[in-house]
Amino acid sequence: MIFSRYLMQSFFFLFTITLIFCTFLFLLLDFVDKSRHYFPTVTADATSIFWFYIYQIPYIILQCAPLAVLFSSSICLYNLSTSNEMTAMLSFGYSAKSLLRPLFVCGLILVVFLSLLSEFIIPRTSEEVEYIRKVHFEGKKSSYINKTNWSHNNSSFYSYAHYIPNTKIFLDLKIITLNKNFRLEKVEKIARASYEENKNIWILQDIHTEIFHHEEKKFHIEKKFSPKKQLTLPISPDLLNIERRHLQELSLEELDGILERNKESGMDLLEIKIAWHTRLSELALSLVFIFGGFPLAFLRERRKESVFIFIKILGLGFSYWLLFSLFRAIILTGSLPIVIGSWTPLGIISSCFIFQLQKTLKAHS
């Protein structure tokens, strides 16, 4: 128990230092690049730039975490070997397998942490990053339809359930009209509204209309149905609350929602499905990478062998992204199912690390 706690503390210390260094390096390089090519061309004040980078930190942490895990676990286990702590542990009756439990616990903690980060923090901070980029830096107008998807014009109010920016289609649009006495005059429920840019009009489909007649002693509702009609709406697609975040910045719940809403919209969902599977596989990647440095715990001061193993471990780690890019390209051509193509890179790297793990355990059992 004491050894496990010591190993976990050592790993998380190295992981934190590595993650801070990688995050700072990324922010510094990005700031230097944008200071030369982007910030001089936009309206960027010091406060906006500061928050622009602060809000990017969670996403950078998610991207850097797998390699930080691999590097930290390798250094942590290598330190056990060079300081003879591993020799002392084995002399007290501990087996090589006893290293696996604390490493596995560390991996699980990281997977939970990264899952919470990607589901609840990154989608919100990414919205702020894009808002600062588009509104503060580039001076574009903010959406006049707020997050509750409501808008109004004179005596009419407009609401919608979903908006598909790629095809400029509203789903479940509702138009509520009031009379001059602020009484309910008409409610139109439209299943689908598509925008024709060349005519600057909206094509409404499946319109259910309820007309409210307010008379002195009588009130009744007249119901009508129209399969299709054209209408000029005071809603410009250019000012709608369009999703500007990258797919990697969306939560799994948001990706599920996009897939569910656009099943019959004609929108190409391949990229979204790939992003959904990629998110899960990259979360599992940290759990796999934490065992990558396992052979370094059993070296005997052979520096050439240490360098060779360390390079091999890092090479395996970097090869995941090469494999991922390769299989992603194959998926986009339609030659490979999405599930197989998205998880195969992780499966290949996992197989290499498992083989390496079994070989080490067999040599020191």
Verify that 86 and 173 share a domain, yes or no. no
The fraction of the chain above a pLDDT of 70, given in percent, is 89
For 296, the domain range is 2-139+260-363
Split into its structural domains, the chain has a count of 2
How far, in whole angstroms, is CA 113 from its chain's centroid? 14
Same domain, yes or no, for 184 and 133?
A: no
Is residue 246 included in any domain, yes or no?
no
Give the single-character DSSP code of 235. -
pLDDT at residue number 148:
46
**Are 25 and 86 in the same domain?**
yes
Inter-residue contact 11 to 105 (CB < 8 Å)? no
Amino acid at 203: I
14 and 119 assigned to the same domain: yes
Does 293 fall in a domain?
yes
Look at residue 324 and tell me if it is in a domain. Answer: yes
What's the pLDDT tens digit per position in 262-295? 776 566 788 989 999 999 999 999 999 999 989 8
What's the CA gap between 81 and 339, in Å, rounded? Answer: 40
Is the same domain home to 225 and 305?
Answer: no
First to last CA, the chain: 20
Same domain, 131 and 177: no
pTM, entire model: 0.77
Q: Please give the average per-residue pLDDT across 170-185, as a whole number.
A: 85
**Closest listed residue to residue 150, CA positions, set 165, 163, 164, 160:** 160
